[in-house]
């Protein structure tokens, strides 16, 4: 296909949350990338506790430009092999005014930033380097009425305290700058909306749906989940609540998750087009096994499991679970069945019990106890059953949570590892590569494995002074094991996305992300009306 002169924006809107926006946007990213275009994803605002760590991108809206002379001063300091900017006058000139504070801010950015997992996977599908501009605003729910606000990859305390409807005016310039920079750097930008564009109670503060579509002059697809029922009403009602200028941006309706004979839909699509002037451009069959993590990381336990089950893995599903999408690769392993654990009965037959990440560790630990899961997990461990805690799950496995800063909360741990976690204001956000040491017990196959992942957590965890040492099995306090070897806690997210780990634990090949992305592109290529996808980025 011919290269476009300027970036075109294709936007995926949904009639509801869960309609299929994220995976369709991912499929479009790979489809356009396979045509030779330079592609980037974008979602102005995402609400999710599933986040990934990406390399920092220092744009003007993130870090102020360096003071005059700061760069040359820093160069001189580095030539003298000075690590920190606390330089004696006898060694190099004093830094220009403001240089130290500027450098400190820049170095804090160097730790990495957070974006929603959906945009991370969309970037990989687009064959692009994930970038904080692809999801400039991330809301991470901590309570039912409170979310931590992450702006351009970093926690923003002021925005976190600000009422919901007041944030829009503050962040809109940052959001549009991020989008405009991506448009300048790429041929195609695939934009994902959030929830529904017809949420009229939120329209005055909208920064993620039609306001973005109008800013980018995006060609929009409106997708609905037909499996829920009422799909035509959802599509028509959403269209009817849009302004005339907004309706003009919608180029097609997409019926997603259809089961049955597509001919039975008639005359519905034709009647809908007569009412709105917008065609149904695709009817996508139900496809649960596409291999991409769901937007919220929740897997569907109704999905049929192919073949015999050799290992049952119970994931404790507390209210503030986070980063569950990292288990999708484990779900794709033949012979492994994943189940949610919300009661003791759910782990009675499990081979492994996993305590995943948490956005509110002390609160989720209290919930776990209220359900009787603490006793069930302890009994499972006493029988020699394998237990794995990841990030917040690691913290729960220790003896105590200590919070003197009001970050998360105090509380006793499960006592399965001799560790104490002390919460600190600074959040650890970084990519990490490390190697497991000597591991015993059911996790022994991981001994010596070099793994890549990411850290997103508050708090430092260390040995309890009055308890046994346990086994530190990864440098830097990243992983601990009990003396028996069946309980393992790690701070590293992304363990099961590492092919070496999956091979060590299961000795089996699993679908790669590349094969998943190509499968998504093939799927929409087969089910969209011919010519629709390329037409979305053609000149009018």
Tens-digit pLDDT profile for residues 75-122:
444 334 333 333 333 334 455 555 444 444 443 444 579 899 999 999
Please, is 180 exposed, middle or buried when counting C-beta atoms within 10 Å of its C-beta (0-12, 13-18, 19+)? middle
DSSP label of 528: B
CA-to-CA separations, 155 to 236, 334, 410, in angstroms, rounded: 39, 39, 22
**Per-residue pLDDT band at 144 (split at 50, 70, 90):** low
pLDDT recorded at residue 8: 95
**Rounded average pLDDT over 258-262:** 88
For range 265-287, the mean pLDDT? 95
Bridge partners, residue 273, by sequence: none
- pLDDT in the model for residue 106: 43
504: left (phi over 0), alpha (psi -120 to 50) or beta: alpha
Average pLDDT of the residues of the chain: 85
Helices and strands, counts by H and E, the chain: 17, 25
Rounded to whole angstroms, what are the CA distances from 167 to 148, 156, 160, 204, 329?
13, 11, 9, 12, 36
Q: What is the pLDDT of residue 61?
A: 38
Mean pLDDT of 266-274: 95
Band (429; pLDDT cuts 50, 70, 90): confident
CA nearest to 121, candidates 194, 47, 23, 210: 23
Residue pair 82/91 in contact (Cβ under 8 Å)? The answer is yes
- Verify whether residue 391 is a known catalytic residue: yes
- Give percent of the chain with pLDDT exceeding 90: 56
Taken in order 240, 242, 245, 247, the sign of the CA dihedral is negative
Comparing C-alpha atoms, which of 321, 284, 295 is closest to residue 192? 295
Q: What is the pLDDT of residues 159-189, one digit of tens each?
A: 888 887 788 888 999 999 999 999 999 999 9
DSSP string, 115-164: EEHHHHHHHHHTT----GGGS-EEEEEEETTEEEEEETTEE-HHHHHS-H
User: Encoding tokens for residue 420?
Assistant: 């104490």
For residues 366-381, give the mean pLDDT: 96
What distance in Å separates the CA atoms of residue 534 and residue 540, rounded to the nearest whole number?
12
Nearest to 501 by CA among 451, 535, 467: 451
CA distances from 89 to 77, 93, 95, 103 (A): 11, 6, 9, 18
pLDDT for the residue numbered 294? 67
Q: Which of 170, 502, 531, 510 is nearest to 334 (CA)?
A: 510
Q: Which helix (H) or strand (E) holds 456?
A: strand 450-463
Average confidence (pLDDT) over 477-489: 93
Task: Give the pLDDT of residue 99.
Answer: 45
Q: Could you tell me if 514 and 234 are in contact, meaning their C-beta atoms sit under 8 angstroms apart?
A: no
Q: How confident is the model at residue 295 (pLDDT cuts 50, 70, 90)?
A: low
- Stretch 230-250: mean pLDDT, rounded? 96
CA-to-CA distance for 213 and 218, rounded, in angstroms? 5
Better-scored residue on pLDDT, 189 or 303: 189
Whether residue 497 contacts residue 297, with contact meaning beta carbons closer than 8 Å, is answered with no
CB-based burial label for 231 (10 Å; 0-12, 13-18, 19+):
buried
Which of 16-25, 335-344, 464-473, 523-532 has the weakest average pLDDT? 464-473
- Residue 56 neighbours by CB distance under 10 Å: 22
Domains of the chain: 8-56+112-290+518-535 (3.40.50.300), 70-110 (no CATH), 311-510 (3.40.50.880)
Q: How confident is the model at residue 467 (pLDDT cuts 50, 70, 90)?
A: low
Q: How high is the pLDDT of residue 161?
A: 87
Choosing from 234, 391, 457, 527, which is the catalytic residue? 391
Active site residue 527: no
At residue 113's C-alpha, the angle toward residues 455 and 40, to 5°, is 120
Of the residues 360, 380, 457, 493, which is catalytic? 493
């Amino acid at each position: 296909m011919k290269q476009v002169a300027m970036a075109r924006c294709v936007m995926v809107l949904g009639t509801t949350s869960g309609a299929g926006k994220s995976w369709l946007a991912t499929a479009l990213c790979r489809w356009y990338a396979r045509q030779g275009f330079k592609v980037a994803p974008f979602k102005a605002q995402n609400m999710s506790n599933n986040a990934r760590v990406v390399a920092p991108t220092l744009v003007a809206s993130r870090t102020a430009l360096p003071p005059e002379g700061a760069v040359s001063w820093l160069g001189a300091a580095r030539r003298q092999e000075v690590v920190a900017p606390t330089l004696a006058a006898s060694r190099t000139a004093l830094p220009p005014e403001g240089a130290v504070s500027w450098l400190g801010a820049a170095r804090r950015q160097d730790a990495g930033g957070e974006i929603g997992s959906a945009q991370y996977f969309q970037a990989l599908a687009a064959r692009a380097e994930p970038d904080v501009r692809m999801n400039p605003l991330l809301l991470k729910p901590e309570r039912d009425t409170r979310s931590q606000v992450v702006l351009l990859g970093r926690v923003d305390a002021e925005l976190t305290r600000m009422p919901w409807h007041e944030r829009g005016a503050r962040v809109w310039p940052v959001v549009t700058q991020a989008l405009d920079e991506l448009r300048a750097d790429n041929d195609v930008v695939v934009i994902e909306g959030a929830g529904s564009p017809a949420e009229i109670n939120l329209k005055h503060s909208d920064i993620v749906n039609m306001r973005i579509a109008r800013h980018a002059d995006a060609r929009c697809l409106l997708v609905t989940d037909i499996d829920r029922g009422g799909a035509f009403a959802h599509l028509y009602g959403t269209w009817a609540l849009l302004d005339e200028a907004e309706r003009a941006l919608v180029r097609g309706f997409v019926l997603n998750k259809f089961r049955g004979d597509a001919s039975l839909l008639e005359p519905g699509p034709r009647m809908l087009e007569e009412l709105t002037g917008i065609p149904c451009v695709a009817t996508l069959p139900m496809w649960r096994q596409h291999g991409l993590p769901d937007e919220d990381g929740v897997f569907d336990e109704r999905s049929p499991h192919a073949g015999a089950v050799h290992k049952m893995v119970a994931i404790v599903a507390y209210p503030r679970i986070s980063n569950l999408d990292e288990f999708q690769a484990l779900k794709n392993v033949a012979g492994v069945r994943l189940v949610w654990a919300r009661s003791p009965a759910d782990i009675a037959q499990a081979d492994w019990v996993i305590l995943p990440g948490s956005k509110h560790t002390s609160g989720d630990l209290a919930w776990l106890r209220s359900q009787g899961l603490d006793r069930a997990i302890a009994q499972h461990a006493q029988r020699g059953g394998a237990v794995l805690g990841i990030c917040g799950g690691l913290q729960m496995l220790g003896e105590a949570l200590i919070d003197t800063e009001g970050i998360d909360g105090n509380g006793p741990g499960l006592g399965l590892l001799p560790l104490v976690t002390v919460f600190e204001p600074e959040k650890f956000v970084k990519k990490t590569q490390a190697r497991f040491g000597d591991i015993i017990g059911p996790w022994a196959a991981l001994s010596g494995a070099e793994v890549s992942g990411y850290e997103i957590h508050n708090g430092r965890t260390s040995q309890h002074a009055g308890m046994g040492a346990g086994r530190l099995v990864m440098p830097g306090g990243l992983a601990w094991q009990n003396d028996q070897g069946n309980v393992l806690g790690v701070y590293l997210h992304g363990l099961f996305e590492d092919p070496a780990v999956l091979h060590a634990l299961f000795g089996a090949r699993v679908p790669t992300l590349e094969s998943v992305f190509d499968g998504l592109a093939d799927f929409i290529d087969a089910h969209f009306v011919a010519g629709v996808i390329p037409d979305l980025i053609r000149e009018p």
